[in-house]
Structure 1
Amino acid sequence: MSVAADKRRLILDAAVRVFARQGFHTCRVSDIADEAGVAYGLVYHYFPSKETILDTVFLERWNLMLATIADAQASEAPPREQLRRIASFIVDSYRRDPDVMKVIVVEVTRAANTFGRTHVQRIMQAYEGIAQIVAQAQKAGVFRREVDALFAAQAFYGLVEQVLTQWIFSGEEIPEAEFEHVKAEIVEMICGGLGG
């Protein structure tokens, strides 16, 4: 990585910690600079605003999720396994970096503000990708056809997000075994409800 890329990453990582600790709206760019151990002006050299930083944090992780959904769709795996891969990606993202997921859940996907509205198309892409998995399974007779595929996708993502929200606000360390348990429960609840 170049020096510029290293500095940019340093600032992004510091911003995630500050956003997670203080909340996006209550922190200042100077808080991010202090956390990163860089001059205030350097933050603006790489990012024109703290909004741009939040956008970058969200898009980095969300693009990885969209790629995971696309990979799951493209696989020859059964629909249950495809959904397990997606749930695993999201849960493991929290396991590896809870601050990033806290920022995404609290400040973007659940926020009824400009960030939620700005990224609604990107968020819908995830729902639509999951819905395609459900629709294919319905077409193949694996899942019941009576449930709307997009509704099932939103229920699936909503269930995962609700679990993350509970973890975020509990402030407790999650036991390792709980991560695997939750993945299995989410997939079972959705697939069981779809009859697959």
Structure 2
Amino acid sequence: MAAVNKHAKIILAATKVFAKKGFFNSRISDIAKEAKVADGTIYLYFNNKYDILLSIFEEEVGKIFDKTQQLLSEEEDPRRMLEIFTNQHLRQMKKNKNLAEVIQIELRQTNKVIKNYRNNKFSSYINIIAEIIRKGQKQGVFRPDILPDVAKRAFFGALDEVSRVWNVSLETHYTVDEITHQVLSLFLSGILIENPGKH
């Protein structure tokens, strides 16, 4: 088997194992077993468990990042750009449910090794949201008082939670487009009725 294929096979196996057992409970031997390789083979490609986790984000999230950037490059309306990002993200999470679970690890991870490693594709991916918000502010479409770096986390946090729960229990009830519309409606319009009647 070619080295590239073994590397990809280990990444795929690790994503599955991390999603099922959790990062801290997973062992290199679990990943090796899932990948059907010897334990020692893992160390030919990765230094340790953290290295594998970071590689998942670099490679798997990297693919989503590239595809999203490509789609967004053809659009100028920031509202439409947020819709594209949301729809694309949900579709990818539906296609790769293990990756959706592993993203939870990154978002909730408090370990210093991961916490200090922020120059990665995952950070760049979430920063797309902040860039869209800044673009909308420059165009006078989005409120100028919104802090893009806070908004990106609020928005992605909502997307992340929706995709996680949706994959487990809501998938049979709602389509990707319906979820996209709901998230965007909440984010762009809020939940207040304009000029509500007096009670």
TM bucket normalised to smaller: 0.7 to 0.9
Hey, what does 1:151 align to over in structure 2?
150
Hey, what does 1:79 align to over in structure 2?
78
Q: Is the 8 A contact 1:20 1:102 kept in 2?
A: yes
1:1-196 paired onto structure 2 within 5 Å: 3-68=2-67, 70-71=69-70, 74-105=73-104, 107-114=105-112, 116-122=114-120, 123-167=122-166, 171-172=168-169, 174-175=171-172, 177-193=174-190
Q: Is the 8 A contact 1:87 1:183 kept in 2?
A: yes
Work out the CA distance in 2 between the residues paired with 1:75 and 1:161: 25
The alignment covers a number of residue pairs equal to 189
* TM-score (ref. length: structure 2): 0.82
Q: Say which structure is richer in helix.
A: 1
Q: 1:145 to 1:173 in 2, by over 3 A?
A: closer
Q: Is the 8 A contact 2:100 2:164 kept in 1?
A: no
Shift of 1:73: 5.2
Q: Which runs of 5+ in 1 are unaligned?
A: none
Shift of 1:148: 2.5
Work out the CA distance in 2 between the residues paired with 1:183 and 1:66: 18
Work out the CA distance in 2 between the residues paired with 1:145 and 1:68: 29
Shift of 1:176: 7.4
What code does the residue aligned with 1:156 have?
Answer: F
Work out the CA distance in 1 between the residues paired with 2:30 and 2:51: 15
Q: 1:52 to 1:127 in 2, by over 3 A?
A: closer
Q: Is the 8 A contact 1:108 1:115 kept in 2?
A: no
* 143-152 or 131-140, larger mean C-alpha shift: 143-152
Work out the CA distance in 2 between the residues paired with 1:69 and 1:10: 24
Deviation per CA, 1:128-162: give whole Å up to 9, x if none: 43222112212222222232233322221121112
Q: 1:179 to 1:68 in 2, by over 3 A?
A: same
Shift of 1:190: 1.5
* TM-score (ref. length: structure 1): 0.83
Deviation per CA, 1:59-97: give whole Å up to 9, x if none: 223323443554455333311110111112221121101
Deviation per CA, 1:83-139: give whole Å up to 9, x if none: 11111222112110100120122x212212235413334455444432221122122
Secondary structure of 2:175 counterpart: helix
Please report the RMSD computed on the Cα atoms of aligned residues, expressed in angstroms: 2.4
What code does the residue aligned with 1:111 have?
Answer: Q
Work out the CA distance in 2 between the residues paired with 1:63 and 1:47: 18
What code does the residue aligned with 2:178 have?
Answer: H
* 138-147 or 77-86, larger mean C-alpha shift: 138-147
What code does the residue aligned with 2:43 have?
Answer: Y
What code does the residue aligned with 1:185 have?
Answer: Q
Q: Is the 8 A contact 1:88 1:183 kept in 2?
A: yes
Q: 1:58 to 1:127 in 2, by over 3 A?
A: closer
